[in-house]
């Protein structure tokens, strides 16, 4: 194990100061991307995706290409030697020689952590099962900072699959470290946040209100973070069918919501936000996906140790 290499596996791997630095650097890059177009020249990003992805993989690739670096990787592990029975540890021991930084998505919780223990280059968790997704959190934070100017004194509702939604877990874990953030957790009783996460938040005296109806809090909050019911994590198809349309945000449900509300979603959406919401100026999920490229540019530069020279 190489102790000096910095990885991002869990949101708590970064201090609040490091998170703020990456987000602020992302905003700086967003204002003037061409200034950074050679920052990672000669560097290679490896993308190891053992699970489907659109935004995470492609935004990382776009980020590295915009920094003047190159990318290689796979998006279907069935085309790799995993099919022949190669272990994750062996794959990583080889691939850390092919890339200068690796991003991994895996259906198994803890797989990126294991990879980081074998890798001699930085490993980034691009989502592990229903566990964590720290770079989506950076994407969420840059969006909040861009539109709200600061990440403090906010009431945030998270709605949908709070049990299996890894973006929710990472976002809650991270925002609980910022000043005066209170949460409304909107979910069916079956899809409440995991007990251990709830206990951790309560132990930090975080304000949490669990509700089942979106209407109970939509008019009070500064941010509404919608999520998809995570079909692939259900053991029982019938249960998924019963819960899949628990929440559908329509334009009329926002009639009395705050004028400066931010409606966010990590995407992909299935049915939980109707298309007529897209034209509401408070809907920011596509801008959120775009900002994800810039915060990932900042993250790659930071982990490669070139951000300080920018």
Contact 243, 251 (CB under 8 A): no
Quick one: tokens of 286? 């596509």
Please report whether residue 169 would count as binding ligand NCD according to CB under 6 A. Answer: no
Determine the 3-state secondary structure of 150 from DSSP.
coil
How many C-beta neighbours within 10 Å does residue 174 have? 23
From candidates 47, 62, 91, 167, binder to ligand NCD by CB under 6 A: 167
Spell out the residues 6+ positions from residue 258 whose beta carbon is closer than 8 angstroms to its own: 219, 221, 222
Choice among 133, 145, 228, 284 that is catalytic: 133
| Known catalytic membership, residue 80 | no
Kindly state the smallest distance separating residue 146's Cβ from ligand NCD, in Å: 17
Quick check: 55 binds ligand NCD (CB under 6 A)? yes
134 forms part of the interface with ligand NCD (CB under 6 A): no
Q: Annotate 37-51 with b (16+ C-beta within 10 A) or e (fewer).
A: eebbeebbbbbbbbb
Decide: is 57 part of the binding site for ligand NCD (CB under 6 A). Answer: no
- Measured from the CB atom, the residue of 66 and 166 that comes closer to ligand NCD is 166
Is 105 an active-site residue? yes
228 counts as binding ligand NCD under rule CB under 6 A: yes
For residue 267, state whether it binds ligand NCD (rule: CB under 6 A): yes
Residue 284 binds ligand NCD (CB under 6 A): no
Is 258 in the active site?
A: no
Catalytic residue among 7, 43, 47, 56: 56
* DSSP assignment of 69-123: -EEEEES-GGGSGGGGT--HHHHHHHHTTT-SEEEEEESSTTHHHHHHHH-SS-E
Q: Are 136 and 169 in contact (CB under 8 A)?
A: no
Residues of 197-236 as b/e, b for ≥16 C-beta within 10 angstroms?
bbeebeeeebeeeeeeebeebbeebbbbbbbbbbeeebee
Tell me if residue 56 is catalytic: yes
Considering the complex, what minimum distance in angstroms separates the CB of residue 55 from ligand NCD?
5
Smallest distance from ligand NCD to CB 103, Å: 11
Work out whether 127 is an interface residue with ligand NCD (CB under 6 A).
yes
Which one of residues 122, 129, 134, 266 is an interface residue with ligand NCD (CB under 6 A)? 266
Examine the residue annotation and report whether 55 is marked as an active-site residue of this protein. Answer: yes
- On whether the CB atoms of residues 297 and 66 are closer than 8 A, the answer is yes
The continuous run of DSSP H or E covering 167 comes out as: helix 166-175
From candidates 56, 132, 170, 246, binder to ligand NCD by CB under 6 A: 56
Based on the shown chain and the rule CB under 6 A, indicate whether residue 133 belongs to the binding site for ligand NCD.
yes
Q: Select 39 or 124, whichever has its Cβ closest to ligand NCD.
A: 124
- The residues annotated as belonging to the active site are 55-56, 84, 105, 133
Provide the binding-site residues for ligand NCD, judged by CB under 6 A.
55-56, 127, 133, 136, 166-167, 228, 266-267
């Amino acid at each position: 194990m190489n102790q000096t290499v910095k990885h991002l596996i869990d949101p708590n791997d970064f201090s609040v100061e490091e998170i703020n630095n990456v987000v602020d650097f992302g905003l700086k890059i967003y204002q003037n991307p061409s200034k950074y177009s050679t920052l990672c020249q000669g560097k290679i990003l490896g993308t190891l995706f053992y699970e489907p992805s659109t935004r995470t993989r492609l935004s990382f690739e776009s980020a590295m290409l915009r920094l003047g670096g190159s990318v290689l990787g796979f998006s279907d592990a069935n085309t790799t030697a995993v099919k022949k029975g190669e272990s994750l540890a062996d794959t990583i021991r080889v691939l850390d020689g092919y890339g200068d930084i690796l991003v991994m998505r895996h259906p198994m919780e803890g797989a990126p952590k294991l990879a980081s223990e074998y890798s001699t280059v930085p490993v980034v968790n691009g989502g592990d099962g229903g566990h964590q997704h720290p770079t989506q959190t950076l994407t969420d934070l840059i969006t909040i900072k861009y539109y709200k100017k600061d990440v403090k004194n906010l009431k945030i509702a998270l709605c949908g699959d709070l049990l299996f939604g890894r973006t929710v877990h990472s976002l809650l874990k991270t925002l609980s470290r910022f000043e005066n953030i209170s949460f409304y957790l909107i979910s069916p009783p079956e899809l409440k946040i995991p007990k251990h996460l709830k206990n951790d938040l309560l132990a930090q005296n975080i304000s949490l209100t669990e509700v089942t109806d979106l209407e109970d809090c939509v008019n009070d909050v500064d941010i509404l973070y919608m999520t998809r019911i995570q079909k692939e994590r259900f053991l029982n198809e019938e249960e998924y069918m019963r819960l899949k349309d628990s929440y559908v945000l329509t334009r009329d449900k926002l009639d009395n919501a705050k004028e400066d509300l931010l409606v966010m979603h990590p995407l992909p959406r299935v049915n939980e936000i109707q298309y007529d919401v897209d034209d509401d100026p408070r809907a920011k999920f596509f801008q959120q996906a775009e900002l994800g490229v810039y915060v990932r540019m900042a993250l790659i530069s930071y982990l490669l140790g070139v951000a300080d020279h920018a």
